[in-house]
Amino acid sequence: MMGNLSYRKMKKKNVVTIIGLIAFIFLSFAYLNSNYKTFYKENTSFSEEKIFIYIPTGSGIINLKKQISPFLIDTTTFFNAAKKKEYFYNIKAGKYEIKRGFSNKEIITSLRSKNIPVKVTFNNIERIQDLGSKISDLIEADSLSLLNSFFEKSFLKDNSLNEESVFAIFLPNTYEFYWNTSADQFRDKMMKYYNIYWNSSRIDKAKSYGLNPVEVSVLASIVQRETPKIDERPTISGVYYNRLKKRMKLQADPTVIYTIKLKKGFDTKIRRVLYRDLKIKSPFNTYVNKGLPPGPIYMPDLSSIESVLNLESHNYIFFVADVKRPGYHMFAKTLSKHNRNKRQYTSWLRKNKIKR
């Protein structure tokens, strides 16, 4: 009798053990399955090989959800994973790559530690306002904050600049920035590159012509607007240097065109400078004022800056467009020779009916 009772107790105990084991296996499977879905299962819903997420500075969970949800199969598992990984305590601004097939864990790892630099390229820009607009398309900072940073009084004072000459510090090139770069960070990095470019050798070259780095950039901007021909720029630089030495007015047509655009708008098309234009009062009009304008009239490229630093030594004082060689010019040492050269150009303007 006692044996049967022991047997039944043992049997009952085994059943409980088996049930417990089954429950454990079931719960373990459920946990592993849930853990797999939360962290390791593919959770992207785009067909491209990869997409980029831009997270603005100061973003919280709501903004993150707005940015990333369109690219997820299951937002619930992603936010569960992010919560468990404590990602929400430190959401970092920037540009992040999400590849097709990423799991939540891989997405979070990317968002947490793999801010991708962006290429920032700029050149052929006429005004600093246009630069601000261009840069705002490439980094997080908007154009207004960029311009406010460029024109900040303490920055200008510390670097001996003003609102016209500050344009000179932006050297056209391709740079790397993080997308979440602030306006001040962008400006300060440009100032750093400017100071690196203007090493002691270049500064000494500029001084040998009686110029400082900003003045070299101002003159280079005029030279670049005079000719697209890089090989001719040192010659034109030499002409303007000769005029400066003689304390003559530069009488540079590009400065007149810039003055007209300041007055009428920078979308104004001007193919010919008229005599009445030469009298427009503006600090940028070198037919009215002696010396250089207060700032660049264009963003000079490095070849234009180098053409001033390595200007051609000659006795030319005048030049005019050579209609037989588009883009090039005819040079003269005397006004009489210049007037003879000029006739071929004015005749060409009349023939082609170019009045403005």
Res. 336: pLDDT tops 90: yes
pLDDT tier, 32 (very low <50, low <70, confident <90, very high otherwise):
very low
Structure tokens at 337: 């020779």
- Looking at 8-22, 36-50, 239-253, which range is the least confident one? 8-22
At 30 the pLDDT is 47
Pick the CATH number of 50-113 from 3.30.1490, 1.10.8, 3.40.50, 3.30.70: 3.30.1490
Q: What pTM was estimated for this model as a whole?
A: 0.85
pLDDT digits (tens, 9 = 90+) for 100-110: 999 999 999 99
Q: For residues 98 and 110, what is the distance between their CA atoms, to the nearest angstrom? A: 7
Structure tokens at 224: 């670049």
Q: For residues 91 and 339, what is the distance between their CA atoms, to the nearest angstrom? A: 69
- What 3-state class would DSSP assign to 33? helix
Structure tokens at 147: 């311009």
- What 3-state class would DSSP assign to 232? helix
At 351 the pLDDT is 83
Q: For residues 96 and 82, what is the distance between their CA atoms, to the nearest angstrom? A: 16
The residues spanned by each domain of the chain are 50-113, 117-197, 210-351
Own/partner long-range contacts of 317-323 (Cβ < 8 Å, ≥24 apart): 317/239, 317/242, 317/243, 317/246, 317/248, 318/239, 319/235, 319/236, 319/239, 320/345, 321/345, 323/348
At 272 the pLDDT is 84
Rounded to whole angstroms, what are the CA distances from 165 to 248, 249, 253, 325?
22, 20, 20, 34
Of all residues in the chain, the percent with pLDDT exceeding 70 is 90
Pick the residue with more confidence: 269 or 238?
238
Res. 27: pLDDT tops 50: no
At 6 the pLDDT is 63
Q: What is the mean pLDDT of the chain?
A: 90
Average pLDDT over residues 56-72: 90
Average pLDDT over residues 184-203: 97
Half-sphere exposure of 138 (CA within 13 A, CB side): 19
Pick the residue with more confidence: 305 or 267?
305
Average pLDDT over residues 40-65: 91
At 22 the pLDDT is 56
Name residue 149's amino acid.
Answer: S
At 247 the pLDDT is 95
pLDDT digits (tens, 9 = 90+) for 115-169: 999 999 999 999 999 999 999 999 999 999 999 999 999 999 999 999 999 999 9
- Angle, helices 200-208/213-226, rounded to nearest 10 degrees: 70
Average pLDDT over residues 11-27: 56
Res. 278: pLDDT tops 50: yes
Report the DSSP beta bridge partners of residue 176: 119
Q: For residues 67 and 95, what is the distance between their CA atoms, to the nearest angstrom? A: 11
Average pLDDT over residues 3-18: 59
**CB count, 10 Å around CB of 249?**
15
pLDDT tier, 31 (very low <50, low <70, confident <90, very high otherwise):
very low
Res. 85: pLDDT tops 70: yes
**CB count, 10 Å around CB of 310?**
12
Report the DSSP beta bridge partners of residue 94: 55
Res. 19: pLDDT tops 80: no
At 23 the pLDDT is 53
Average pLDDT over residues 321-348: 91
pLDDT tier, 5 (very low <50, low <70, confident <90, very high otherwise):
low
At 330 the pLDDT is 95
Radius of gyration of the chain (CA): 34
Q: For residues 76 and 91, what is the distance between their CA atoms, to the nearest angstrom? A: 18
Let me know: does 77 contact 24? Beta carbons within 8 Å: no
